[in-house]
A and B are shown apart, each in its own frame.
Chain A
Amino acid sequence: AQKITQTQPGMFVQEKEAVTLDCTYDTSDPSYGLFWYKQPSSGEMIFLIYQGSYDQQNATEGRYSLNFQKARKSANLVISASQLGDSAMYFCAMREITSGTYKYIFGTGTRLKVLA
């Protein structure tokens, strides 16, 4: 069954340091997408980065990179050079392609606090 697990309810990081947010997933579908979203205190959902199951290279978007380890079924988000504005909830999500429903399933989230 489609499942996303985020085991870190909360994380602290010092400003300008790098931080890794963990995400593991479970699927039997060979074709899927993995997504990370940021939810600041204002509530909106902001898309950060995407990784396809067949992508050979790890995705990067500015200060965000996705450490994709397919065999371990993990898709960790790495934020480099943390900024105070990075303080937010972060959600990992997955979308199966060949299952036919194409719905997005989200993990429980990790609350990141960046310290000055």
Chain B
Amino acid sequence: DSGVTQTPKHLITATGQRVTLRCSPRSGDLSVYWYQQSLDQGLQFLIQYYNGEERAKGNILERFSAQQFPDLHSELNLSSLELGDSALYFCASSPGGTANTEAFFGQGTRLTVV
């Protein structure tokens, strides 16, 4: 158990809909990262938050948004969903800053858009 909790584990929704993925980081970790993994692909970095503030942005679509709340949990919002958004979405956390530790991953949310 990495200590990172993602909900839900599975999500099936229709095109055009909006969903919210939730992530609770490991206790004490200030940084949260979101990644998208399409079928048999690598992990695409979407966005990073550190202590409530956006720190870095990757190839995140304008239809996607995220935030990190004061209690450090994070949500990734995906709107106007398309078939191509079907993927495994990972949240990871780390202490952040200059501490060079590994990122701890949640189990992922498997999103299927039909």
Q: Which residues of A pack against B, CB within 8 Å? A: 33, 35, 37, 43-45, 47, 50, 52, 91, 93, 95, 97, 101-109
Contact B41 A95 (CB under 8 A): no
Given known A101-B55, A102-B55, A102-B97, contact A47–B45 (CB-CB < 8 A): no
Contact B33 A104 (CB under 8 A): yes
Given known A91-B43, A106-B43, A107-B42, contact A45–B96 (CB-CB < 8 A): no
* B48 interface residue per 8 A CB criterion: yes
How many Å from the CB of A77 to the closest CB on chain B? 14
Contacts of B31 in A (CB 8 A): 102
Contact B55 A43 (CB under 8 A): no
Contact B42 A101 (CB under 8 A): no
The closest CB in chain B to the CB of A97 belongs to: B98
Contact B55 A103 (CB under 8 A): yes
User: By DSSP majority rule, is chain A's interface helix, strand, loop, or mixed?
Assistant: strand
B62-102: contact bitstring with A at CB < 8 Å (1 yes, 0 no)? 00000000000000000000000000101010101110111
Contact A104 B107 (CB under 8 A): no
The closest CB in chain A to the CB of B43 belongs to: A106
How many Å from the CB of A100 to the closest CB on chain B? 8
Contact A101 B56 (CB under 8 A): yes
**How many residues on B have C-beta within 8 angstroms of the other chain's C-beta atoms?**
28
Given known A44-B107, A103-B33, contact A95–B100 (CB-CB < 8 A): yes
* B25 interface residue per 8 A CB criterion: no
Contact A44 B105 (CB under 8 A): yes
- Residue from B92, B98, B108, B110 within 8 A of A104 (CB atoms): B92
Contact A102 B96 (CB under 8 A): yes
- Bound CA–CA A44/B43 (angstroms): 12
Contacts of B88 in A (CB 8 A): 43
Contact A52 B45 (CB under 8 A): no
Contact A43 B107 (CB under 8 A): yes
- Bound CA–CA A56/B98 (angstroms): 19
Contacts of B107 in A (CB 8 A): 43-44
- Bound CA–CA A52/B98 (angstroms): 12
